[in-house]
Amino acid sequence: MEFFNHRYTIICKEHIDVDWQEYITVPFDIYLGTLEECYTKIKRKEIHSQKFYLGHFIINSLDALRSFDSDISKFNLNDNCAYFEKVTHAGPHDKNKVDESLILCNSWNLPFIVSNYRSNNTLYANLRRHRVKIFQFKNNLKDKII
């Protein structure tokens, strides 16, 4: 079994006509549909091929994607972490938030993100419950963990 095959997924609700090579320079597969549908297809492929994806780039906003200017393969996904377009670490639990327009996570964290709708908590709270380190794309290109 090959774990972390240095392949990524791009998950979108519908087809987006962009040059994906601007955002990712390593091999990737595109999955279209709801998060739940894409997650099922991804897990089925991982189980049958015995190769697991290193990361998942979830796109919920085309505008956020257009303003995104990083190569997602440069982010450290070996740790238990996830990256978001915007993160608010406010202190009180009900004030902490993540902007879900763009999400980059590893295969370990993808189920927590996909199943978030089943919880009464925010995505921020659910990820922290699983001890996921939460970062903002723009501030963490050097992968310094707080």
DSSP secondary structure of 60-115: --HHHHHH--S-GGGS--SSSEEEEEEEE--SSGGG-EEEEEEEEE-TTTHHHHHG
Q: Does 25 or 100 have the greater pLDDT score?
A: 100
Which range of residues forms the domain containing residue 118? 8-136
Residue 80 covered by a domain: yes
Residue 125 covered by a domain: yes
Residue 142 covered by a domain: no
Q: How far apart are CA 55 and CA 73, in angstroms?
A: 8
Residue 2 covered by a domain: no
Could you report the per-residue pLDDT of 53-68, keeping only the tens digit for each?
Answer: 999 999 999 888 888 8
Q: How far apart are CA 67 and CA 83, in angstroms?
A: 15
Residue 144 covered by a domain: no
Domain count, the chain: 1
Give the global pTM: 0.87
